[in-house]
Amino acid sequence: MPSDDTTKNGAALPRLLVARRLPEAVEARLEGDYSATLNPTDEDRGTEGLIAMSAGMDALLVTPTDRLDADAIGRLADTVKIVATFSVGFEHIDVAAAARRGLVVTNTPDVLTDATADMTILLMLAAARRAGEGERMVRAGKWDGWTPTQLMGIHVTSKRLAIIGMGRIGRAVAHRARAFGMDIHYHDMQNLGPDLDEGATFHGDVEEMLPFCDFLSLHCPLNAETRHFINAEHIARLPDGAVIVNASRGPVVEDEALIQALKSGKVAAAGLDVYEGEPALNPGYLDLDNVFLAPHLGSATVETRNAMGFRALDNLDAFFAGTEPGDRVA
């Protein structure tokens, strides 16, 4: 559904295709500055739909569910000059193909750090304290009252938390975890130093860090090295009864390996907000009481989603004003 206005102050507005329905405040702003084709029903148009609708467009505003591989990039209308993604991650876009075509790609970093870190702590506590089991018990009318041994979970305070990926989100998680007296360990490409890691213990060799993981929180990007990093081999190096939390990228976890570890008790519990192949997550998780499952809520606050949209529009505004977008990734 295109907006009615196509000019502003006598100048033609850039034509923008918006892949999914966005927060009301974001759509209100973009309709004032663009000749926008919105998606009021929030239907998933799919790659082919986006390609077909790109005809005559100057820009696309897409989301992580919109896959633009090299073939799709090559088939977008020649008029398209920039793709802004409503996300930090951009693995759903072939940025190398975009660069070869001369297509600018931007993302929305920084603005979802706090929301995702908050969600990580929620996953950690919910998994360790069996919150999902308890909530289901109450809703099903199966709670008969307090007992001394009911749903005993795992103490979080003073445990060792290991973080893979000590970027902005990883550091925000560590900052929150210190309020629980947790002993922070981390692996990253380099030692961040005391100004950034606030005294956390650095492990240059991630294999060496795994035995220190009472809790393991994943905050790494998805690439060839991190895909299925949480596999049977690496799980075996964890202490018995560890808790795994993933609010980064679903494919960092090899599902079958984690499911087997949850069944055996090698991993006591897990808290997951992202999944390989989502929303069609591995059905093996659904029968397990010791995994807390959330529907990709990491950035799902009004404030954060608005900020993501505004950040995407800032990049588009800069591009069409003839300046370099601040968050260009291709």
CA distance readout (Å), 185 to 88, 166, 188, 197, 222? 24, 10, 10, 9, 21
Instruction: Specify whether the CB–CB gap between 18 and 309 falls below 8 A.
Output: no
Is 296 marked active-site? Answer: yes
Structure tokens that stand for 30 in this block: 């973009």
Q: How far apart are CA 82 and CA 89, in angstroms?
A: 16
Catalytic residue among 21, 75, 228, 296: 296
Alpha carbons within 13 angstroms on the beta-carbon side of residue 89 total: 22
Structure tokens that stand for 187 in this block: 């692996």
Q: How far apart are CA 329 and CA 97, in angstroms?
A: 12
Catalytic residue among 91, 133, 276, 278: 278
Residue 100: which H helix or E strand, with range?
helix 95-101
Catalytic residue among 20, 249, 305, 311: 249
Q: How far apart are CA 305 and CA 86, in angstroms?
A: 9
Helices 113-128/131-139 angle, 10° precision:
70
Q: Which residues contact 78 (CB under 8 A, 6 or more apart)?
A: none
Is 305 marked active-site? Answer: no
Q: Are strands 82-85 and 267-272 parallel, antiparallel or unpaired?
A: unpaired
**For the chain, what is the largest distance between any 2 Cα atoms, rounded to a whole number of angstroms?**
74
Structure tokens that stand for 96 in this block: 């190398």
How would you list the strands of the sheet with 104-106, edge to edge? 35-37, 15-18, 59-62, 82-85, 104-106
- Which residues are tagged catalytic? 249, 278, 296
